[in-house]
Amino acid sequence: MKPSNTPQFMQLPTFDGIVPSELSADYILPDTYPDVKKILRARARPVLIGRYISGRKLEFSCAVDYIVIFSADGEGGESLHCVHFAGDFESTLGELDELDNANIVLTPRMSALNVRLSNPRKLSIRSTVSTDVKISSMLPCTAKCEGARTLEEELSLERLCDTVTSGRERTFTAEPLRISENLEPDSTQPSIDEIVTCDATIHFHEARPMYTSDDFTVSLKGDAVVTCLYKSRSEAGNYRSFSRKIPISYIVGADDFRDSFTDCRPESITAYALAVPTEINAVVAEDNYGERRIVELDMTADVNVHITGGEELPITLDAYSTERESECVMKDFDCHSPSKVVFANFSIGENVTRDGLNLPEDTVIVDAAADVSVGSVTLERGRAVMNGNAFISCILSDNAGSFTSSDFTVPIRCEMSAPDITEPFAYNCLPSVSDLRVRIDPERISFDFEVSLGTELFERSRRHVVDTIRLIGETRSTSNDSAMTLCYPSKDETLWQIAKRYNTTVSALEAANRENSRVLLVPSAMPHTFVIDA
């Protein structure tokens, strides 16, 4: 443990909240697109652009990429089209605690999206972006001393100390992740006429910090799941989709943040990462047989890395002076332990009845997409139990070539080992869906998919500690009287409590009482300490 009178700083949460941003806009289709007949799917992806600090004010800006798939009438029947357009917004948080050297985590997410067809060429968008804002700052955890005349007087204070394991954390944006890959549909699927849309999600199932005396990196491993919806070259000219999983291995340098973890135990350093695609380009190419069966994919994603570690720091539970009257100003503070990051991958199989959906018997699945969220995490018998929902959007078609869409909600549940986590605790969960398969039969629609998630769990605790020690009045005269007072301590009374009550020190009590006894010899003195709760 570091000396209790050495100034130490603990990284403590100073703000944890949600900033909602309401967006509304009208989008006019370019002349290259046909009139909209029906909106089949609307999705949005918020991306953090930047943040700015000015005194006690935090400003940040985000862009939102809207993706709308719609059907249109044409000479050959209904066709599918996809349009991308962007919006942006800025938000401000004021009256915050000191932001210099603070760790700021901003995670924008879509919480509401509604796209309405105002007329065949105008889309009206109403959406809400909820930005999770988490700020932790370096705050002193060493009790201050007021009224000391000299440094020696301050250092001579009697302090009752304990240690807490404080979390250290840093969040940063790494160099963009770039993926280039050639993708091909199954051999049973027809070749490609044109791509309607190509989308991707990225999930890291491993984040391994490597902290040595020479290097500090985070090794990331995961998958990019790419889904391509295309118009086929079959005689009917119908639409198909296929998905591919691309393995990712990415090493991120973290040397700029080495000093933040110098005093952390190497085994306590953990990490997780979140990647958001920012640009996806897909072009059709021919294979070795001259068939248009290759999708040349080039993709860029922002990678946000969060690193945590644990450092042992002292806190003052009580203090007094043997030379002057003193009082302690107490305070409560909430601290969190170093996080435990758990990765999991599990399968979900659910189905719904077709009753009430009014689907023709010859309906087929053209494409499906899913988002997933975790609504709660509870601890049960040493395991973290996560419950949430997967939201599945299906584009359907009948033999006449008419398109429709349906949305479904499927519950998810996962249990992960967490024997060393106790209440109260908090969590951050980053789930994603991969390998989504949807089947339709005359009676039911079945969903099979995998959920990958990384979860950060950390305990929260409240400690009652000394904030300030105040020395009052003049120095008391010392006495050469060698008389001792007999003390009969109660069963649970500690040496610290006795020393404080008689205005002596624990070391003086131990020196005067060499052997264990029910009676203690204490130098005669009067107590001169007070406690004030702030």
The answer as to whether 431 is a domain residue is no
83, 109, 138 - which closes a domain? 138
Query: Percentage of residues in the chain with pLDDT exceeding 70?
Result: 95
Calculate mean pLDDT across residues 435-443. 90
CB 502 within 8 A of CB 487: yes
Q: To 10 degrees, the CA torsion angle through 294, 393, 435, 248? A: 70
Q: Is residue 223 part of a domain?
A: no
pLDDT of residue 528: 47
Strands 57-74, 77-93: pairing kind: antiparallel
Mean pLDDT for 28-45 is 95
What pLDDT, on a 0 to 100 scale, did the predictor assign at position 96? 86
Question: Quick check: is 268 in a domain?
Answer: no
Residue 489 carries which DSSP code?
A: -
Are 365 and 440 contacting, i.e. CB atoms less than 8 angstroms apart? yes
Q: CB neighbours of 493 closer than 8 A, spacing ≥ 6?
A: none
- Residues 417, 379: Cα–Cα separation, whole Å: 10
pLDDT, residue 199, reads 94
Q: Is the pLDDT of residue 62 over 50?
A: yes
The verdict on residue 487 lying in a domain is yes
The whole-number pLDDT of residue 524 equals 62
Helix H or strand E segment including 511: helix 506-512
Which pLDDT band holds residue 5 (cuts at 50, 70, 90)? low
Report for 332-336, 361-365, 389-393: range of highest mean pLDDT:
389-393
Query: Coil, helix or strand for 280?
Result: strand
Average pLDDT, the chain: 89
| φ, ψ at 369 (rounded to 5°) | -140, 155
Structure tokens at 273: 């990462």
Residue 455 lies in a domain: no
| Res. 7 pLDDT band, cuts 50 70 90 | low
Higher-scoring residue by pLDDT: 454, 115: 115
Last residue of a domain, one of 138, 155, 178: 138
42-60, pLDDT tens digit by residue?
Answer: 999 999 999 999 888 999 9
CATH number at residue 489: 3.10.350
334-360 pLDDT, tens digit each: 887 877 888 888 999 999 998 878 888
Count of structural domains within the chain: 2
Measure the N-to-C terminal CA separation of the chain; round to a whole number of Å: 27
Q: How far apart are CA 307 and CA 209, in angstroms?
A: 8
For the cut 70, the answer to whether the pLDDT of residue 525 exceeds it is: no
Residue 400 lies in a domain: no
> Among 2-11, 77-86, 167-176, 343-352, whose mean pLDDT is lowest?
2-11
Q: How confident is the model at residue 523 (pLDDT cuts 50, 70, 90)?
A: confident
One-letter amino acid of 457 = L
55: left (phi over 0), alpha (psi -120 to 50) or beta: left
Instruction: Please say if the pLDDT value at position 14 is more than 90.
Output: no
Please say which residue of 99, 118, 138 terminates a domain: 138
Q: Which distant-in-sequence residues (6+ apart) come within 8 Å of 497 by Cβ?
A: none
Which of 160-169, 501-510, 525-534 bottoms out in mean pLDDT, i.e. has the lowest?
Answer: 525-534
- d(CA 38, CA 70) in angstroms, rounded, equals 6
Separation of alpha carbons 439 and 412, rounded Å: 19
Q: What's 416-451 look like in SS3?
A: EECCCCCCCEEEEEEEEEEEEEEEECCCEEEEEEEE
Per-residue pLDDT tens over the stretch 203-259: 999 999 998 888 999 999 999 999 999 999 876 668 999 999 999 999 999 999 998
Q: Rounded to an integer, what distance in angstroms lies between the CA atom of residue 457 and that of residue 423?
A: 11
Token digits for 86? 């962007």
* Among the ranges given (473-477, 504-508, 524-528), the one the predictor scored with the smallest mean pLDDT: 524-528
Question: For residues 373 and 377, what is the distance between their CA atoms, to the nearest angstrom?
Answer: 12
pLDDT 10s digits, 111-169: 999 999 999 999 999 999 999 999 988 888 889 999 999 989 998 899 999 988 888 99
Q: Which residues of 187-198 are buried (b: 16+ CB within 10 A; e: fewer)?
A: eeebbbeeebbb
Q: Which residue has the higher pLDDT, 518 or 217?
A: 217
Look up residue 474 and give its two tokens: 């003049």
Lowest mean pLDDT among 6-15, 130-139, 392-401: 6-15
pLDDT band (50, 70, 90) for residue 460: confident
pLDDT of residue 527: 47
- The CA angle 518-521-523, to the nearest 5 degrees, is 150
Structural domain including 489 reads: 481-533
Q: Tell me, yes or no, whether 387 lies in a domain.
A: no
CA 282 to chain centre: 30
C-alpha 450/C-alpha 435 separation (Å) is 6
pLDDT at 2: 39
Q: Annotate 183-245 with DSSP letters as a single string.
A: E---TTSPPEEEEEEEEEEEEEEEEEEEE-SS-EEEEEEEEEEEEEEEEE-STT--EEEEEEE
pLDDT at 200 over 70: yes
**Per-residue CA distances from 206 to 124, 166, 222, 301, 493 (Å):** 40, 24, 7, 17, 50
Question: Burial letters for 319-354: b for 16+ Cβ neighbours within 10 Å, e otherwise?
Answer: bbbbbbbbbbbbeebebbbbbbbbbbeeebebbbeb
CA 268 – CA 259 distance, rounded (Å)? 15
Q: Does residue 20 form part of some domain?
A: yes
CA 85, 90, 94 angle in degrees (round to 5)? Answer: 165
